[in-house]
Amino acid sequence: MFGLKSDWSVKANDRYFTLDDYSAAEPRWCTGCGDLAILASVHKVCRENQLLPENTVSVSGIGCSSRLPHYMKTYGFHGLHGRALPVACGVKSRRLDLDVWVATGDGDCFSIGAGHWIHALRYNMDMTVLVFDNGIYGLTKKQTSPTTPEAYQTNTHPGGAVLPPLNPLTITLGVTNISFVAQVVDWNTPLLYETIKAAHAHKGTSFVRIVQRCPVFMDVMNDELMDDPARFLLLNHEQGIPVPDGVSKMFESQADHDPNDLSAALGLANDRTKIPVGLLYRNPDAGIYNELSSQGLDFTSEDKLAGVNEALDKFLI
Amino acid sequence: MNEASELIAVKQIDNVVEELPVRDTAIAIREHIVEIVSDSGEGAQKCGQTLGILSAKMGNGVWTVEIIPAEIQPPARTPDGASGIRVRIGDSPMTNTGNDADLVVAFNEQVLRSRIGSHAYNDQTVVLLDNMWASDSDEKIRNQYADALLEFAECGLTVHELPIQEECLKVVPDPRKGKNMFVLGLLCHIYSRDTEKALAEISKIFARKSAKVVESNHALFNAGYAYAQRHIEIHYEIAAHSEPDHRMVVMNGNQAVGLGIMASGMELVAMYPITPATSASHFLADEFHSVGGFVHQAEDEIAAAGFAIGASYAGKTACTITSGPGIALKTEMIGLACMAEIPLVIIDVQRGGPSTGLPTKVEQSDLLATLFGAPGDSPKIILAAATISDCFHFVILARKLAESFRIPVFLLSDANLATGVQPFERPEVADDWFAAPIDQSPWDPKVLAYDWDEETGLSARPIPGMRGGEYVLTGLAHNRNAKIAYDATTNQVGSTMRSRKLAALADTLSPPEVHGDPEGDMLVIGWGSTLGTIEEAVDVARENGHKVSCIHLRFLSPLEPGLREICSRFKQVMTIELNYSDEIHASYINGETRRYAQLAQLLRAHTLLDIDCWSAVYGNPLQPGKISRVIIDRVIEVEGGK
Ligand SMILES: Cc1ncc(C[n+]2csc(CCOP(=O)(O)OP(=O)(O)O)c2C)c(N)n1
Ligand code: SF4
Ligand SMILES: [Mg+2]
């Protein structure tokens, strides 16, 4: 940190990055939007880890939340609705040196991109996936999303959402080869920061569902929740997300939860009475697909020539 | 081709008791078309492929076309289940499937009926049919067999029954797997093939199996060869064409695509299985690692395209291989690649459509879908391979174009090229074919991410890892600085610059070469795998005194220059294509309602000339005989009308 070396000297051409080095344009999100807090935490984690801006890539889909790359002074890829994950996997596949982040919404990830969600989790490539779950389609102005609470009135369901909401945590925890699953809310910034930091530090796909305020189109999921901390269950464990001082006492309900215990995690995810906050599951030993997809990166031109020629010669007349 | 047919005398097998005199004088022929048809799983294709490769190795020209049923295990002994292969062997390079077959070996009478239905044979065709069904324990089958024989006789086909099963039983207990090698033996004697080379090929096929398997297949081959030697009087010789100066390779179009990918220096192929494209990925799954590459089987075609685009954005030009339905799914991604100017190579091995269509059959129906598929104006480069050699070389070209022009490049192949086997000059791979290692030197921050050259629309591309080049790629309208902009001019400027790249590329292309005289009564225009057929058909028309020439387009977007000028030297211009168009003289069809073949539509708009077309979607490769008749009829019709 601070550009100081262990002998307390400062090398003149060493680079030290401040928050400004990661923040680009003024965000265009609405006042009070939870996306602002998430962005601020991402910037802080970048600074904390002194990530090289040129080696950092944020990939997103389409939605309010997917604007995140535009507010990062790193490389970014603001692609197609629902397709952030396959693009991010492609970025990482042969560029292990890149630090890959994914910003996606509940519609982006759980609806149009649901197929990729399941499979990207299985690939478990080394990247940090943040789902901005506001329970609504924000950008397109209040349509029902997969996580919209039942009976909540939207522009596509003026009589109230007709289906019970999808549970992203149970689905995520049900995917084979899952390696990091956490849940947090945007308005508890210290915990949000710690969660994103831990997600980033994890090797493999770290999946963080962030319950996110959309003051414009969704009141049930934020106002009511914000006013009712008793609805949450804080997960404590020495291998879990470190809980900053002062945060702990915000939560009436707390539980000791071992993040190595998948069935306990599933139990918590399934509990309709409490919303778990913290690290549900971590498996540092899950296979990482980019270790396969990056095979042969060290091949020289000569190696390649030899390889092609050998393959061609098999077809010689 | 059938000049020797009256010399053919297949002995009635039932009468063969004593050894027949060995006929060792082979009749020299210039070329022959052989078909082998069987139920799926009986290995007719393996037999034909081996005959083709062997013939190529003996210096003959070869063209093979596979006959593939749509189902993996279609019911046995049904016309729809016919699986097989057509092999055209000649003393000069073969460029197409040819006309009716000269010789057919059928494993049962029902699959033979299917090929008769496809008009593959005529009364000169020699048919060798396994007679095992005549004595089948099931009366129904015996009757079917007898009925079919009558039916064949009625349509003038001479069928010679052979005890293939019976003879194989003398060698192995269950000839269902292995009969094909007996037939290969038969054919090798009939066509005087080099037995040592044949046995070596068989060993290669079964290299992964036990020595015993190789042995029994060799035994079957030898039995077939000996049987033909003793009992079949047809005996031909097809001379090798002059020794080529270059080393030659022989392979199918999908293998050529796979090798092209390896030789282009691409490191990644992201795909989702789809016929008839998948075998290219199978090939790469076996070989790609030897150049350090990786095949990613994605969860669907959208993800495959997204994965390739992600890798390409990060500096590794990648490729995705698919067929029609996959193109439909990748369309939004390809539009993004156009908009955000991400290099991408998309290989489309076209099959019959629309929808799931005819998965195993050939069509050239994706031209307009690839050209116009994405919403908005989304200019991209489209190349069409005409030969197997093109399948190889065009991948290398496609990668270079994709990178230099920062654009998606389609390479159109088709089911015909994908499974057809043809020899071509062994490419001498050079390391400048490979993508350069990614540049990670700092980027001059004064150069914008889309620093379009006003004249060409070209711009250099910052790659993640380049310090100072940080930009956010977006599919939204953006300015030179990659910033989202909704103002009045930005989208117009961006669209202009992206479109300009095609004009800049067209400027570097040369007009297509005219096959035949530079002017005349009719110019035929084709694209893709029909090259050889069209040229042969045009040659036939010319031999018949008609002033016909042809051109074949390899670049479909941008189109090669000079087309209007070339067309205007001919009284009539027509395209010949393997896609749908309305026939001229059908109900409700008139000048206003007629829907033209795909290239014809493009060329009519491009040249402002009244370009006619002939096209069809039978799923079969075009035969030169049929096409020459189409051309001659059209020339005469036009002349008569004048
Ligand atoms: C293929 C496609 N379909 C639909 C859209 C329109 N669209 C844009 S964003 C969006 C939903 C966004 O909701 P969510 O992912 O929850 O993001 P939020 O805006 O709530 O952050 C939709 C339907 C699109 N851009 N592309
Ligand atoms: S609409 Fe909602 S999610 Fe979108 S920016 Fe505004 S507050 Fe945020
Ligand atoms: Mg949302």
> In the predicted model, what is the mean pLDDT of residues B523-552?
97
- Report the pLDDT value the prediction gives residue B117, as an integer from 0 to 100: 82
Give residue B238's identity as a one-letter amino acid code: I
Which residue reads 């909401």 in tokens?
Answer: A165
A62 lines ligand 1 (CB under 6 A): yes
Q: Which chain A residue is nearest to residue B472, measuring alpha carbons?
A: A76
Atom 26 of ligand 1, nearest CA residue:
A81
In contact, B635 and B591? CB cutoff 8 Å? no
Which of B287, B311, B423 lies closest to A93 in CB terms? B311
Atom 13 of ligand 1, nearest CA residue:
A137
- Report the pLDDT value the prediction gives residue A6, as an integer from 0 to 100: 61
Give residue A203's identity as a one-letter amino acid code: K
- Report the pLDDT value the prediction gives residue B4, as an integer from 0 to 100: 36
B97 and B80 in one domain?
yes
A216 lines ligand 2 (CB under 6 A): yes
In contact, B435 and B424? CB cutoff 8 Å? no
Of B509 and B119, more confident? B509
Given the DSSP bridges, would you call strands B344-350 and B126-130 parallel, antiparallel or unpaired?
A: unpaired
Instruction: List strand residue ranges (DSSP E) for B200-242, in order.
Output: 236-238
8 Å CB contact of A315 and B469: no
| Residue B474 in domain | no
- Between 3.40.50.970, 2.130.10.10, 3.40.50.2300, 3.40.50.880, what CATH number should domain A19-288 receive? 3.40.50.970
> In the predicted model, what is the mean pLDDT of residues B191-210?
94
Residue A136 CA to residue A214 CA, distance in Å, equals: 8
A65 lines ligand 1 (CB under 6 A): yes
Q: Which chain A residue is nearest to residue B467, measuring alpha carbons?
A: A54
In contact, B227 and B167? CB cutoff 8 Å? yes
Assess whether pLDDT exceeds 80 at residue B417: yes
- Structural domain tally of chain B? 3
Gap from CA of A275 to ligand 3 centroid (Å)? 18
Gap from CA of A64 to ligand 2 centroid (Å)? 6
Which of A53, A118, A298 lies closest to B470 in CB terms? A53
B97 and B37 in one domain?
yes
Residue B118 CA to residue B621 CA, distance in Å, equals: 11
Which residue reads 């020495």 in tokens?
Answer: A238
Nearest ligand 1 atom to alpha carbon A62: 9
Distances (CA, A) of A50 to A27, A183, A206, B321, B553: 22, 25, 19, 39, 54
8 Å CB contact of A80 and B336: yes
Looking at the CA of A35, name the nearest ligand.
2
- Report the pLDDT value the prediction gives residue B14, as an integer from 0 to 100: 42
pLDDT confidence band for B177 (50 / 70 / 90): confident
Atom 8 of ligand 2, nearest CA residue:
A33
Q: Which residues pair with B515 in a beta bridge?
A: B550
CA distance B337 to chain A (A): 10
> In the predicted model, what is the mean pLDDT of residues A211-218?
96
Atom 5 of ligand 2, nearest CA residue:
A29
Query: Taking every pair of C-alpha atoms in chain A, what is the biggest distance, in angstroms?
Result: 78
Assess whether pLDDT exceeds 70 at residue B617: yes
Which H or E run includes B614? strand B612-615
Assess whether pLDDT exceeds 50 at residue B8: no
Output the domain CATH number for residue B636.
3.40.50.920
The structural domains of chain A, with segments of one domain joined by +, span: 19-288
pLDDT tens-place string over residues A223-244? 788 888 899 999 999 999 999 9
| Residue B172 in domain | yes
Q: What's the distance, CA B498 to chain centroid? A: 31
> In the predicted model, what is the mean pLDDT of residues B419-427?
93
pLDDT confidence band for B119 (50 / 70 / 90): confident
Lookup: tokens for B325: 């339905």
Assess whether pLDDT exceeds 80 at residue B18: no
Phi, psi of B190 (to 5 degrees): -55, -40
Q: What is the dihedral of CA B451, B457, B459, B463, to 10 degrees?
A: 100
Mutate to test the interface with B, among A62, A80, A92, A315 (most CBs of B within 10 A): A315
Distances (CA, A) of A49 to A58, A59, A77, A196, B355: 15, 19, 21, 12, 50
pLDDT tens-place string over residues B71-105? 888 899 999 889 999 999 999 999 999 999 999 99
A38 lines ligand 2 (CB under 6 A): no
Q: Which chain A residue is nearest to residue B252, measuring alpha carbons?
A: A315
Half-sphere exposure of B370 (CA within 13 A, CB side): 31
Lookup: tokens for B580: 């749908």
Q: What's the distance, CA A306 to chain centroid? A: 42
In contact, B309 and B296? CB cutoff 8 Å? no
A101 lines ligand 2 (CB under 6 A): no
A35 lines ligand 1 (CB under 6 A): no
**DSSP symbols for B95-114:** -S--SS-SEEEESSHHHHHH
Sheet holding A253-256, edge to edge: A253-256, A232-236, A275-282, A180-185, A205-211, A127-133, A99-105, A56-60, A75-78, B472-474
Q: Is the pTM above the cut of 0.80?
A: yes
B216 and B80 in one domain?
yes
In contact, B401 and B409? CB cutoff 8 Å? yes
Q: How many residues does chain B have?
A: 642
A135 lines ligand 1 (CB under 6 A): no
Chain A residues touching residue B248 (CB < 8 angstroms): 316-317
- Report the pLDDT value the prediction gives residue A5, as an integer from 0 to 100: 56
Residue B203 CA to residue B234 CA, distance in Å, equals: 27
- Report the pLDDT value the prediction gives residue A4, as an integer from 0 to 100: 52
- Report the pLDDT value the prediction gives residue B73, as an integer from 0 to 100: 83
8 Å CB contact of A316 and B249: yes
Angle separating helix axes B388-405 and B490-506, nearest 10 degrees: 140
Range of the domain at B615: 520-640
Residue A280 CA to residue A294 CA, distance in Å, equals: 30
Instruction: Number of A to B CB contacts under 8 A, please give it.
Output: 207
Atom 6 of ligand 2, nearest CA residue:
A30
Residue B286: CB partners within 8 Å, gap ≥ 6?
none
| Residue B439 in domain | no
Q: Does A70 touch chain B (CB under 8 A)?
A: yes
A113 lines ligand 1 (CB under 6 A): no
DSSP annotation of B484 reads B
pLDDT confidence band for A67 (50 / 70 / 90): very high
Given the DSSP bridges, would you call strands B408-414 and B570-577 parallel, antiparallel or unpaired?
A: unpaired
8 Å CB contact of B313 and A91: yes
B159 and B19 in one domain?
yes
pLDDT tens-place string over residues B492-506? 999 999 999 999 999
Residue B31 CA to residue B94 CA, distance in Å, equals: 9
Q: Does A87 touch chain B (CB under 8 A)?
A: yes
From B402, B433, B464, give the residue that closes a domain: B433
Given the DSSP bridges, would you call strands B472-474 and A232-236 parallel, antiparallel or unpaired?
A: unpaired
Q: Does residue B354 have a cis peptide bond before it, meaning omega lies within 30 degrees of 0? A: yes
Name which of A1-5, A52-56, B236-240 the model is least confident about.
A1-5
3 state DSSP class of B525: strand
pLDDT tens-place string over residues B209-223? 999 999 999 999 999
Cβ neighbours around B618 below 10 Å, total = 14
| Residue B479 in domain | no
Lookup: tokens for B267: 């490191």
Instruction: List strand residue ranges (DSSP E) for B477-539, in order.
Output: 520-527
Mark out the alpha helices in B481-578 (DSSP H runs): 490-506, 531-543, 563-567
Assess whether pLDDT exceeds 80 at residue A8: no
8 Å CB contact of A79 and B306: yes
Q: Which chain A residue is nearest to residue B204, measuring alpha carbons?
A: A314
**DSSP symbols for B64-76:** EEEE--SSSSPPS
8 Å CB contact of B292 and A304: yes
Half-sphere exposure of A266 (CA within 13 A, CB side): 9
B254 and B128 in one domain?
no
| Residue B506 in domain | no
**DSSP symbols for B296-328:** EE-SSHHHHHHHHHHHHHTT--EEEEE-HHHHH
Q: Which chain B residue is nearest to residue A66, measuring alpha carbons?
A: B474
pLDDT tens-place string over residues B220-273? 999 999 999 999 999 999 999 877 678 999 999 999 999 999 999 999 999 999
Residue B468 CA to residue B447 CA, distance in Å, equals: 9
- Report the pLDDT value the prediction gives residue A245, as an integer from 0 to 100: 86
pLDDT confidence band for B68 (50 / 70 / 90): confident
Which residue reads 């109900």 in tokens?
Answer: B587
B394 and B532 in one domain?
no
Give residue B167's identity as a one-letter amino acid code: E
From B367, B400, B433, give the residue that closes a domain: B433
Mark out the alpha helices in B14-136 (DSSP H runs): 44-57, 109-117
A146 lines ligand 1 (CB under 6 A): no
Distances (CA, A) of B625 to B229, B414, B628, B632: 33, 21, 5, 11
pLDDT confidence band for B342 (50 / 70 / 90): very high
Q: Which chain A residue is nearest to residue B392, measuring alpha carbons?
A: A312
Among B382, B426, B424, B35, residue whose Cα is nearest residue B252: B424
Q: How many residues does chain A have?
A: 317
Chain A residues touching residue B310 (CB < 8 angstroms): 59, 77, 86-93
Which of B247, B310, B472 lies closest to A78 in CB terms? B472
Residue B223 CA to residue B162 CA, distance in Å, equals: 13
The answer to whether the Cα torsion of A270, A271, A277, A282 is positive or negative is: negative
From B375, B398, B433, give the residue that closes a domain: B433
Output the domain CATH number for residue B201.
3.40.920.10
- Report the pLDDT value the prediction gives residue B639, as an integer from 0 to 100: 75
CA distance A238 to chain B (A): 36
Residue A105 CA to residue A70 CA, distance in Å, equals: 15
In the stretch 101-130 of chain A, residues with CB closer than 8 A to chain B read 115-116, 118-119
8 Å CB contact of B429 and A86: no
Gap from CA of A138 to ligand 2 centroid (Å)? 5
Which H or E run includes B425? strand B421-425
8 Å CB contact of B315 and A76: no
Share of chain B above pLDDT 90, in %: 86
pLDDT tens-place string over residues B561-611? 999 999 999 999 999 999 999 999 899 999 999 999 999 999 999 999 999
> In the predicted model, what is the mean pLDDT of residues B45-63?
94
Assess whether pLDDT exceeds 60 at residue B11: no
Which residue among A29, A71, A218 has the greatest number of ligand 2 atoms within 8 angstroms of its CB, and so is best to mutate?
A29
pLDDT confidence band for B24 (50 / 70 / 90): low
Output the domain CATH number for residue B276.
3.40.50.970
B116 and B17 in one domain?
yes
B254 and B240 in one domain?
no
In contact, A277 and A233? CB cutoff 8 Å? yes
Name which of A183-192, A279-288, B239-248, B370-379 the model is least confident about.
B239-248
Q: Which chain A residue is nearest to residue B442, measuring alpha carbons?
A: A54
In contact, B578 and B617? CB cutoff 8 Å? yes
Average pLDDT, chain A: 95
Lookup: tokens for B197: 């080379």
In contact, A117 and A109? CB cutoff 8 Å? yes
B225 and B296 in one domain?
no
A27 lines ligand 2 (CB under 6 A): no
Which of A24, A87, A316 lies closest to B306 in CB terms? A87
B229 and B254 in one domain?
no
In contact, B97 and B537? CB cutoff 8 Å? no
Gap from CA of A161 to ligand 3 centroid (Å)? 15
Which H or E run includes B142? helix B139-154
Residue B230 CA to residue B224 CA, distance in Å, equals: 10
8 Å CB contact of A293 and B296: yes
Assess whether pLDDT exceeds 80 at residue B10: no
In contact, B263 and B301? CB cutoff 8 Å? no
Phi, psi of A228 (to 5 degrees): -130, 70
B270 and B348 in one domain?
yes
Which residue reads 């075998």 in tokens?
Answer: B279
Cβ neighbours around B165 below 10 Å, total = 17
B219 and B311 in one domain?
no
Residue B568 CA to residue B544 CA, distance in Å, equals: 23
Residue A246: CB partners within 8 Å, gap ≥ 6?
A190
Gap from CA of A132 to ligand 3 centroid (Å)? 7
